[in-house]
Structure 1
Amino acid sequence: MTDEGQFARMLLLAVDAWRYGTRDDRQQHDLQRALAEALRVAATRSGLDPARWRRQEAGDGLFAIVTDESAEPKVIGPFIRELDEWLGRHNHDLRLRARLRLRVAVHHGVTLPAALGYAGDAPVHVCRLRDARAVRETLEVFPEVNLVLAVSEPIFDGSVRQRHTSLAAKDFTRVEVADPAKQFFATTWVYVPGVTSERVGACLGTLAVSLRFAGAAAPPPGFFEQVLRPSFEAVGVAAPDGEEPTFRVPAELAGTALTGRWLEEVRTAVTAHCPLARIAVGIALAPDPAAASAEAAELADAEPAARLLAATDRGRIVIVVSERVHEVVVARGGRLVFPESYRRSQGKTGCWIRVPGHSVPPEAAPGPDSPPAGREVPAADQSFSAMTHGERSPILGQSTFTAPVILGDVHRHGGPR
């Protein structure tokens, strides 16, 4: 450790026990002993030496400067796995409220020894990440898990994303942390052992869907009975109650299950039962349920979706997802989720658009020069290499054209269109 006032950039670990204050004196005594043993065993088994750590302890957790050489890859990987395994054995026969469950945060930055412990922005930062509302809520949302790990953006970008750790980037979920009262705003990346990042991303916020029907104030007759409810049943999830066009998505339908399988079931049912319906589907993710619903409705009503629906007199579905949904779910891809099929909106609304059946959403130019309804003509002097999706056609090459003819490497999913 450095002398007081000397500059040093250190790896920082902050740990806190779940619901410590609700326990009686004896329970707190036993929990502290178990916590100390859990950290000692996990550190030793992962090749770290906890005796070298510089600690600032509290009854329900600790702040530690990890001084081991090359500690970062060991902490973000073996240490977390060993800690989760120890906690799993310890908690096996305990009731939920008696279990030892932990919030763990990791960061690195400048740290100075001070009269009452350690000073600097970095110690504050790592403790604020550990105590962030979203990190706390993770243990409430997933009662079966033993711990949640939150790493700072520098740790994620410098170590996890660069594959210096055995925990992969795809296993983490990005979370924006905001505490206006303390003037603290940051990005953290959350990992929950045994829970997919998609499910974490969906459950840390509320997913909401909003449906808008072009040319009609209400959905087509039978839409909820023939399309919406069967689409939820097809993916094994109970449909939302009522017949409101904007609804919150059940937690079980997280991530790509919503943007992939469920949307495909909706599309199939619409084709069968409402072949002329033109529907905009807005999907949003926000910490507050009301905010998620409002944003989903705004996306479904947004001008880009309206123009694409107005450009055709045939049946069509336009999917509009928020920046957050695209980042957390779509960009990672998955079953029936094709990131390359989304196009960023050029309008004021921050969103991404997909039109099923098109490799890239068609442009619907506004104004008097727009193509007539039912006919989408690419702009002149524009080169295309087209892709739809399953059956592969011969390569015809790339060409510039003004007629609605596709020349290129054509792929189809689901047979000829």
Structure 2
Amino acid sequence: MFDQGNTAYVLITAAMVLLMTPGLAFFYGGLVKAKSVISMMMLSFGAIGLIGVLWVLYGYSIAFSNSGSGNFVGIQGWFGIDSTLFSLNALVDQAHSATATGYPTIAFAAFQATFAIITVALISGAIADRAKFGAWMVFAGVWATVVYFPVANWVFNLPVKGVGGGWLAHMGLIDFAGGTAVHINAGSAGLALALVLGKRVGFAKGAYKPHNPPFVMLGAGLLWFGWFGFNAGSELGADGTASLAFINTLAAPAAAVLGWLIIEKLRDGKATSVGAASGAVAGLVAITPACAALTPFWGMVLGIVAGAVCCLAVDLKFKLGFDDSLDVVGVHLIGGIIGTLFIGIFAYQGSVGLIYGGGFKQLGIQALGAISVMVYSFVLAFVIGWIIQKTMGFRITNEDEIAGIDTAVHGEEGYVLLDERV
């Protein structure tokens, strides 16, 4: 018999993580112009449909294959492909058999499916206002197959008694809930797509205002709620480690809100609602890999640093000339890097952090993980996006962008204030 408490915990936290993607749809939807809200939200819901199916067909089998040897050699060690491909259905046969984990493996597969979905959806913020829905769906399916599923294998597929598992996990990378596999991965892909699709019409600082800040705050609230499942749920059991991850998921983003608003007030003279919501997300991103490795004090330090740095980083797109529409790079890539490297200095878990006498070894492993995922994701996302752009076309026309992508692509409007039939 399974531990019903642990099984319930895994399933409930999986549902919480799935809610993050509709929450992201609200967050992103409020940030774009009114004529793009349907398109923006559809990119997230499209990811739910497509990646959910691909995960069941073969995504889980790649990400959590038993093939990884830990020696980094061969396609099996890198991509996790072996005889388990297309075998998630085999887990049904184990659903009533006791295991050492206390929960059925298929519950874990369901939990990890929601990670794959939100990671793909995060990328869409970089190409808001100008991407074709069909092209996005093609990109999402290919990128998930050749980037996310293998990278999840590198990071999340843990060795068993020092044998097997993904190569980064085997090396000792600390990434409790996805700073590399989720946020650096998505942020790097977002940067690549922003470069492939080019700038929006009239791109300039201050040219685009969020059309619905209440949507942004609602989305941030749903994300924060789901993030407790994301981080604490990654322990896969209701215990002390989950409790530490939970309090850090409260403390770090709370501090990040303050960090973002302080910079915003000093720089612009006003603290905004969108800034508060963005600060919370930046803190959540940064604490994701570190939530079980830091004391709450260092969690708050990480939060305030991430909030301040990410607030400054979002302006890089204007200085460097790339149009990352909704700051996927500034928040997710930069925030993910900060949180991943912070572990190497301040992690008390196993006394591996530099200040706890662990030396520079863990910091080096964290840097290797961040750089490896960043380069791999960026290069492949750029190639996939470029091929789609040159074949079926990824970007809508300038005319459709100006007229409104919602009506041009989906034949719908986000807001109908007057019924023309009356």
Give the structure with the larger strand fraction: 1
Larger radius of gyration: 1
TM superposition score normalised by structure 1: 0.26
* TM-score between the two structures when normalised by the length of structure 2: 0.25
Structure number with higher helix proportion:
2
